[in-house]
């Protein structure tokens, strides 16, 4: 709102969203992707050569002040190399003659180092909280828009350290193990790439194998290619919506007992009834998306 009085001056009134705040961050870049790390958790940055990296019990480490610190590529911890959006990104190799920037983060008494390609700048940014759909995404605490117009994720150091601890051991040092039991297989039908990626990671992290279909028609044709233990589907999709997909599946007697979960933004009682009438076993709202609720429903049904 602008108020101007001739000869006296001009007053500008700005109303800011409470979802906005400022944060001091270190901007880094890895594989061309800008990322921000809160300064409060930054202990130091250093250059590390391949000769300084020692693998202990399958975990890459470096020694700083007589203390062994676990290290990893930041892009690997974020699981971006396996994402369809970043399928063009080559996984960086630590067997490189050049020293690489390493960001040392400290959370409580725990420390870990993360390799990046470039340190950009330390600055204060306007941080925007994530939407309810994305607020529980692991490793991410918010987002900001850079001066270039690029959207930059603000990472969560506590989550990064936990994710590093969950990473699999080096294949060359992992002892031989017996063949694992069969993973339950989920057919995930979702046309939105961000939601699809989030749900895929969620299910895979819970021990499920995930097969992707990007619309209802593709999901229906994929269903016959192998045995699935459950179907998780969006509703509003091109070619064949989720309600119609469920109805078509239920027309085939061999899928009478197949668990089907609809995850959607449609929250009216009429929509819920349509889902139940079509044959869906569970109906979960994206607007109130809760990872635990979705996993609990899936575990209960499978």
Query: 130: domain CATH number?
Result: 2.40.50.180
CATH of the domain at 217: 3.40.50.2300
Is residue 11 in a domain? no
How many CB atoms within 10 Å of residue 289?
Answer: 20
Show pLDDT as tens, one digit a residue, over the chain (302 residues).
888 999 999 999 887 655 567 889 999 998 888 999 999 999 999 999 988 888 887 789 999 988 999 999 998 898 775 444 444 444 444 444 478 999 999 998 899 999 999 999 999 998 887 766 665 678 888 899 988 888 899 999 999 998 888 765 543 233 334 445 578 999 999 998 888 888 888 888 888 999 999 999 999 999 999 999 999 999 999 999 999 999 999 999 899 889 999 998 888 888 889 999 999 999 888 765 567 778 888 888 88
Q: Domain end: 138, 166, 194, which one? A: 166
Is residue 3 in a domain? no
d(CA 295, CA 301): 10
> Would you state the pLDDT for residue 31?
82
How many CB atoms within 10 Å of residue 44?
Answer: 12
> Would you state the pLDDT for residue 51?
87
Is residue 6 in a domain? no
d(CA 26, CA 281): 46
Q: Domain end: 133, 166, 199, which one? A: 166
Is residue 56 in a domain? yes
Residues 218 and 123 in one domain: no
Q: Domain end: 166, 194, 222, which one? A: 166
Is residue 104 in a domain? yes
Residues 216 and 278 in one domain: yes
Domain that holds residue 264: 185-301
Residues 60 and 145 in one domain: yes
d(CA 289, CA 109): 33
d(CA 222, CA 214): 10
Domain count, the chain: 2
Tokens 């800011």 correspond to 16
Is residue 178 in a domain? no
Residues 58 and 112 in one domain: yes
Residues 131 and 230 in one domain: no
How many CB atoms within 10 Å of residue 114?
Answer: 27
> Would you state the pLDDT for residue 56?
81
Is residue 233 in a domain? yes
> Would you state the pLDDT for residue 136?
63
> Would you state the pLDDT for residue 172?
27
Those residues whose C-beta lies under 8 Å from the C-beta of residue 105, and which sit 6 or more positions away, are 37, 41, 42, 43, 111, 112, 113, 114, 157, 160, 161
Is residue 161 in a domain? yes
Token reading at 189: 């039908």
Residues 250 and 286 in one domain: yes
Residues 156 and 193 in one domain: no
């Amino acid at each position: 709102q602008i108020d101007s009085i001739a000869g006296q001056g001009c007053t500008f009134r700005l109303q800011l969203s409470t979802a906005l705040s400022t944060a001091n961050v270190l901007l880094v870049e890895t594989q061309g992707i800008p990322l921000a790390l809160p300064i409060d958790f930054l202990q130091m940055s250093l250059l590390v050569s391949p000769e300084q990296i020692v693998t202990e019990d399958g975990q890459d480490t470096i020694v700083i002040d007589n203390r062994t610190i676990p290290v990893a590529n930041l892009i690997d911890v974020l699981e971006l190399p396996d994402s369809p959006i970043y399928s063009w990104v080559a996984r960086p190799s630590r067997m490189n003659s050049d020293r690489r920037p390493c960001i040392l983060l400290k959370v409580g008494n725990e420390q870990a180092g993360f390799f990046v390609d470039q340190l950009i700048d330390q600055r204060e940014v306007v941080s925007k909280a994530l939407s309810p759909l994305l607020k529980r995404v692991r490793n991410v605490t918010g987002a900001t828009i850079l001066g270039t117009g690029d959207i930059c994720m603000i990472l969560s150091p506590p989550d990064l350290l936990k994710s590093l601890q969950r990473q699999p051991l080096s294949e060359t040092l992992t002892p031989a193990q017996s063949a694992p039991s069969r993973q339950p297989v989920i057919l995930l039908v979702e046309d939105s790439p961000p939601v699809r990626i989030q749900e895929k990671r969620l299910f895979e992290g819970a021990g499920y194998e995930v097969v992707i279909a990007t619309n209802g028609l593709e999901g229906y044709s994929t269903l016959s290619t192998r045995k699935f233990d459950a179907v998780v589907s969006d509703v509003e999709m091109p070619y064949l919506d989720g309600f119609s997909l469920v109805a078509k599946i239920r027309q085939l007697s061999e899928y009478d007992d197949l668990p089907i979960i609809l995850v959607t933004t449609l929250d009216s009682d009429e929509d819920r009834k349509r889902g139940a009438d079509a044959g869906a076993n569970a109906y979960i709202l994206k607007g109130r998306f809760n990872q635990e609720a979705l996993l609990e429903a899936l575990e209960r049904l499978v």
